[in-house]
A and B are shown apart, each in its own frame.
Chain A
Amino acid sequence: MDAIFLQVLNGLDKGGAYALIALGLTLTFGTLGIVNFAHGALFMLGAFCAVLFNKIITFSVKVKDESITFFDAYKEQPYLEIWWGDIGSTIIDYSIPLSLLFTIPVMLLIGVIMERGLIKHFYKRPHADQILVTFGLAIVIQELIRTFFGANPIPSSAPAIVSGSAAIGAWFGLNDSLVYPWWRLIYLVFSIIVIFAVFVFLKFTTFGMVVRAGMADRETVGLLGINVQKRFTIVFGLATVVAGLAGAMYAPILPPNYHMGMDFLVLSFVVVVVGGMGSLGGAVFAGFMLGMLQSFASMNEVKAIIPGIDQVIIYLVAVIILLIRPRGLMGREGVMDD
């Protein structure tokens, strides 16, 4: 029972990340008609925004370490601490949540530049070309990150107050020894909030209405004289920001490395396809579903029955679903049918 409960949480957690990435992927596909293989790289860039932000605010100077009196010792002290004392240290401690403020504008900028500079020219090209050029871009982004941040994962820590584990066993009247990392709980809540915000934005704003209309019938919206171009850019920016936020918040869970984008890309594409290309609800549902499946498949009891199932479960499910429901779970007719 406890183990199952834990796996449900694990699955939801993973699913949250999948859903966030898949959401942007399916949004760009549904509205812009672009198959973006660089979307995983955007997730990775988000994680490195957090890393970079942390580097900036911990910019340090060598000072004499007063606590060591036997000889002249030096230690690195961030300027922030020197200038603002305790407030400075608090800011540094909260660098991950604070980095979101940095991530949003940076990712928006990246998204807009990417759409204006590259994606825009591929609206009318075949999907194969879109896949190829964004695949190339993904390699470029990945390698640039490796050049600047190195090949090793960069550990990032959550704020001290939530670095421990929550006694969720006690909360739900289960075994007291059942604990779960605070930050993972926060990530789950965060992902739900972001998904919710995106849905509210698309459901209740005029802009969102146009975007949804565009997803239903792109040509007609264009014919109505609505400036689709500008909206495309914003939609792409939005997708980029969502992927970036997902990445930045994921940093304490998985130390950012340069190839994490590729790892997540394949999975999130599977999520999108299973959910149905261009279906927002489908992406979220499939994200959580596949996350859960994956975490249950990695239980030792399950692995004992079917060895290796944890490695392939997602792909296996994807293959089965694509074969019996070609449009995915919630895919609409006419999207990507050829």
Chain B
Amino acid sequence: MKISIKSNLIIMLIFITIVLSAPIWGKVIGAAYPDLLQKFAIFALFAIGFNILFGLTGYLSFGHATFLGVGSYTAVWMFKLFSMNVLPAIILGTLMSGVFAYIIGYLSLRRSGIYFSILTLAFAQMAYSLAYSVLTPITNGETGLQLSQQDPRYLDALFGVAVSDGLPSTNFFGLSMSGYSGFYFCAVILIIGFYVSLKIFRSPYGLKLTAIKSNQKRMKYTGFNTRPYLLSAFMISGMYAGLAGSLMAVTDPLAGAERMQWTASGEVVLMTILGGAGTLIGPILGAVIIKYFENIFSALNTAELHSIFSFMPKFMENIFVFITNPFVGDGWHLMLGVLFMLVVIFLPGGVLEGLGKVTNLFKRILGFKSTKQGASKGESS
């Protein structure tokens, strides 16, 4: 078998190198903070999972933040009840979202198209409202679920883990999950998550999911029961979200209902389509781009804008500051909305498709033969 650029091994090697060297290339783009890099990894994981549902089957869920929230709450409860070790927390967080995904998916997948979107949205809103009100004993309502000195932590007590004075911090068999070790932990999980997604994309199972997106009716007449395919994809994708949610709790052990809000569901949709739904690395790219620019733009303020544009003549500077001001700081969401629209209008295939177009254009200009478009969408990585 020939080893091509598209073989799993090569892709994984490149991916691992890029992810693990993030603290290095992060410096170049000014993103080398563990906090931000962790965010990259966690949201990339969330988007990868979402893409397995939306990118492969075409089912647009508007309620995936629910599973993010479920993962976070479960993880924090694990910290409170059993151990500050992160392993049980992320395992149970993932499993718990799997259970929720099974229930919500079982009901929502009885419908397709926009009805499916609205059903998932309705379930998400329900979960969000409940987390705020009736479920306060579990979720601690508006305040959010936090650790406390008095938490029992039975497992830790059993193994005689020393109790510190302040709030305990999360650890992986003693390795504290703060700073870069936290990032590397997330990075390893991301690499595993990416590998699983790669395998799914290139499996017969993945091909069948893509075929459901292409023509579900035909799939039924071809002899496939599409329901279990969709349900399993929904569950996998929900479990990714739960894993991402529990990682959020690992890096910052608290959980709040706002994590389940439908704007959070919208954000992961945006990440996925921005990068390119149905592609392998698109969602990761989308997640990184959004979190990176969020970090930059939401930190800017008017004074900094003046200094950025200070090379211009004074009146030009004022005009530019006036124009850009609504987009920075709190206005980051405005930027996000505009970006959202621009991508859907001009780049329905996402950044990856855009990059492909640009490279083809360059190749044509430089006199190369334009390359044939990839045979299968799933392969355009």
Contacts and interface: CB of A to CB of B under 8 A. Distances in A.
Find out whether A and B make contact in their complex, taking CB atoms under 8 A apart as touching: yes
B63 to A, nearest CB: 10
A281 interface: no
A278 B331 CA distance: 36
A132 B344 contact: yes
Given A128-B58, A135-B340, A319-B119, A144 B114 contact: no
B193 interface: no
A266 B262 contact: yes
B168 interface: no
A128 B134 contact: no
A235 to B, nearest CB: 19
B227 interface: no
A336 B125 contact: no
Contacts of B339: 136
Interface string B331-342: 101101111110
A113 interface: no
A204 B97 CA distance: 53
A139 interface: yes
B327 to A, nearest CB: 9
Contacts of A194: none
B110 interface: yes
Interface in B90-147: 107, 110-115, 117-119, 121-123, 125-126, 129-130, 132-135
Interface in A294-319: 307-308, 311-312, 315-316, 318-319
Contacts of B340: 132-133, 135-136, 139
Contact of A311 (B111, B134, B273, B337): B134
B129 A336 contact: no
B121 A121 contact: no
A139 B339 CA distance: 10
A193 interface: no
Given A127-B114, A132-B269, A316-B126, A143 B119 contact: no
A277 B125 CA distance: 20
A270 interface: yes
Given A135-B266, A139-B337, A311-B132, A270 B118 contact: yes
A140 B338 CA distance: 6
A312 B128 CA distance: 9
Contacts, number: 119
A113 B115 CA distance: 28
A143 B123 contact: no
A273 B118 contact: yes
B121 A143 contact: no
B266 A273 contact: no
B107 A323 contact: yes
B122 to A, nearest CB: 4
B123 A319 contact: yes
Give the contact-size bracket for chain B.
35 or more
B345 interface: yes
A131 interface: yes
A326 B113 CA distance: 12
Contacts of A277: 114
Report which residue of A131, A142, A277 has the largest number of chain B beta carbons within 10 angstroms of its beta carbon: A131
B122 A315 contact: yes
B381 to A, nearest CB: 22
A143 B337 contact: yes
B354 interface: no
B70 interface: no
A12 B336 CA distance: 37
By secondary structure, the A interface counts as helix
Listed residue (A118, A135, A137, A138) with the most chain B CB atoms within 10 angstroms of its CB: A135
Contact of B112 (A142, A269, A338): A338
Contact of B113 (A118, A142, A266, A336): A336
Query: How many A residues touch the partner, as a band?
Result: 35 or more
A312 B114 contact: no
B378 interface: no
A186 to B, nearest CB: 30
A67 interface: no
A51 B16 CA distance: 54
Given A136-B344, A338-B113, A312 B337 contact: no
Nearest to A318: B122
A133 B345 contact: yes
A318 B125 CA distance: 12
B60 interface: yes
A206 interface: no
Interface string B299-333: 00000000000000000000000000010001101
Contacts of A76: none
Interface string A16-50: 00000000000000000001000000000000000
Contacts of B341: 118, 133, 136-137, 140
Given A129-B344, A131-B117, A336-B114, A143 B331 contact: yes
Interface in A175-205: none
B266 A318 contact: no
A57 interface: no
Nearest to A272: B118
Contact of A128 (B60, B107, B130, B333): B60
A322 interface: yes
A167 B60 CA distance: 49
Contacts of B133: 307-308, 311
A152 interface: no
A177 B273 CA distance: 57
A315 B123 contact: yes
A327 to B, nearest CB: 9
A266 B114 contact: no
In the A-B complex, the 6 residue pairs with the smallest Cβ-Cβ separation, listed nearest first, are A308-B134, A139-B337, A136-B340, A143-B334, A311-B129, A136-B341
Given A139-B266, A139-B336, A273-B118, 9 more contacts: A118-B345, A128-B58, A136-B344, A143-B326, A262-B263, A318-B119, A322-B118, A326-B111, A326-B115
Interface of B: 58, 60, 107, 110-115, 117-119, 121-123, 125-126, 129-130, 132-135, 216, 262-263, 266, 269-270, 273, 326, 330-331, 333-334, 336-341, 344-345, 348
Interface of A: 35, 118, 121, 125, 127-129, 131-133, 135-140, 142-144, 146-147, 262, 266, 269-270, 273, 277, 307-308, 311-312, 315-316, 318-319, 322-323, 326, 336, 338
